[in-house]
Amino acid sequence: MRRRTLHPTERPSGRGQGTTLGAPWLVGGCVAVVAAGLVGVAVGPVSIPLGQVVRELLDHLPLVDVDSTLSATEKAIVWDIRAPRVALGLLVGALLAGSGAAYQGVFRNPLADPYLLGIAAGAGLGATIAIVTESRDAIGFVDPVPFAAFAGALLAVTAAGTLSVRRGSVGSPATLILAGVAVANFFTAIQTFVQQQNSETLQQVFSWILGRLATAGWGEVRLILPYATVCIVGLLLSVGTLDVLAVGDEEATTLGLRPKAARRAILVLASLGAAAAVAVSGLIGFVGLVVPHAVRLTAGTSHRRVLPLSFLFGAAFLVLADVVARTIQSPAELPIGVVTAFVGAPFFLVILRRQLTS
């Protein structure tokens, strides 16, 4: 019988192996983060030239000694007002985008996002209860808001997931999103009820719901840093698992994975990050949707790329959105959720159209 030559044999090109992360993309992501950070520190009611910002930041690196010629007031603006806000924006953006990418992977659903799945609403309910009960004073040194937000987030994602999964098989994208919308509405209703019962904290809860990156010093950054670290490190270690989950539970099993346990672990990690972000910055929608999708469209769909790049570009995106939010109506500030929704909602519709046509 004739032996077929399948294709003319080509020598491997050497760089053919570098398909997992793609160094140029990683470098691009880091550059975006640094650039967004510098812009975030430089732009504001008091404009500080970029060159001086760079010098001031470099001066704080160990073993570097450069004079930034900033006045004491300007230094205070940089270190006490803008830098913490930028740092918080980087963390929250990374967490929202990264957890969004993880949810999309776990549910094999491109429309999954912390906001649409009701996770943000769940975290919101938890945080609201923590705020109105003033449990901070009761517990003392540990701020209970992130914990309460985490519990709410986990409850919401479990509810949405359970409602849309039947006999272990993940339902259609529409089912999950509809379940998420129902869960979100239910939790928001309870939250509104709790909030109305406690009008004295209304202002506090409201500003939180609209989503904001307003900070008082480094407190918020310190607060979510441990959760962010666990979430980011944990999810980065799960990229291979997420890729395996993408081929479905049956094939994942034959590849040696226990899909249910793996999904649960990744959901906990992602919810931890999303809840921490929601706890300090309120409900900022669409970041978890827009950023991972843009990454997938440009850099490919392996989670080995999608996750790290979502963290990086999510961080950069949110800081830039914040710059827009605080300059467009300066000196007044627009809630940052308005900016992300303005970009995100049309983007969401575009993805939805593509889903419908494919």
DSSP H helical ranges for the chain: 23-42, 50-59, 72-76, 83-106, 119-132, 135-139, 145-164, 173-197, 202-210, 219-237, 239-245, 249-254, 259-281, 287-299, 303-327, 336-357
The answer to whether residue 250 forms part of the interface with other proteins (CB under 8 A) is: yes
Residue 122 CB, shortest distance to other proteins, in Å, is 27
Q: Which of residues 194-223 bind other proteins (CB under 8 A)?
A: none
Of 17 and 203, CB closest to other proteins: 17
The answer to whether residue 356 forms part of the interface with other proteins (CB under 8 A) is: no
Q: Are 101 and 240 in contact (CB under 8 A)?
A: no
Q: Which of residues 108-137 bind other proteins (CB under 8 A)?
A: 108
The answer to whether residue 20 forms part of the interface with other proteins (CB under 8 A) is: yes
Q: Are 282 and 220 in contact (CB under 8 A)?
A: no
The answer to whether residue 45 forms part of the interface with other proteins (CB under 8 A) is: no
Distances in Å between the alpha carbon of 294 and those of 30, 75, 297, 314, 344?
16, 36, 5, 10, 11
The answer to whether residue 243 forms part of the interface with other proteins (CB under 8 A) is: yes
The answer to whether residue 268 forms part of the interface with other proteins (CB under 8 A) is: no
Return d(Cα 61, Cα 75) in angstroms, integer. Answer: 15
Residue 13 CB, shortest distance to other proteins, in Å, is 7
The answer to whether residue 158 forms part of the interface with other proteins (CB under 8 A) is: no
DSSP 146-198: HHHHHHHHHHHHHHHHHHHEETTEE--HHHHHHHHHHHHHHHHHHHHHHHHHT
Which residue is associated with the tokens 């997938």? 296
Q: Are 103 and 292 in contact (CB under 8 A)?
A: no
Residue 173 CB, shortest distance to other proteins, in Å, is 12
Of 134 and 250, CB closest to other proteins: 250
Indicate which single residue of 237, 328, 349, 350 sits in contact with other proteins (rule: CB under 8 A): 237
Q: x/- string (CB under 8 A) for other proteins, residues 269-298? A: ---------------------------x--
The answer to whether residue 304 forms part of the interface with other proteins (CB under 8 A) is: yes
Q: Are 79 and 261 in contact (CB under 8 A)?
A: no
Q: Among 265, 272, 306, which Cα is nearest to 289's?
A: 306
Residue 168 CB, shortest distance to other proteins, in Å, is 11
Of 4 and 356, CB closest to other proteins: 4
Q: Among 244, 230, 320, 239, which Cα is nearest to 277's?
A: 230
Return d(Cα 3, Cα 254) in angstroms, integer. Answer: 31
The answer to whether residue 12 forms part of the interface with other proteins (CB under 8 A) is: yes
Indicate which single residue of 69, 204, 207, 253 sits in contact with other proteins (rule: CB under 8 A): 253
Residue 196 CB, shortest distance to other proteins, in Å, is 45
Residue 63 CB, shortest distance to other proteins, in Å, is 29
Max CA pair span of the chain? 86
Q: Count of residues binding other proteins (CB under 8 A)?
A: 42
The answer to whether residue 167 forms part of the interface with other proteins (CB under 8 A) is: no
Indicate which single residue of 49, 51, 219, 240 sits in contact with other proteins (rule: CB under 8 A): 240
Q: Which residues bind other proteins (CB under 8 A)?
A: 1, 3-4, 6-7, 9-13, 16-17, 19-21, 108, 236-241, 243-244, 246-248, 250-251, 253-258, 296, 300-302, 304, 308, 358
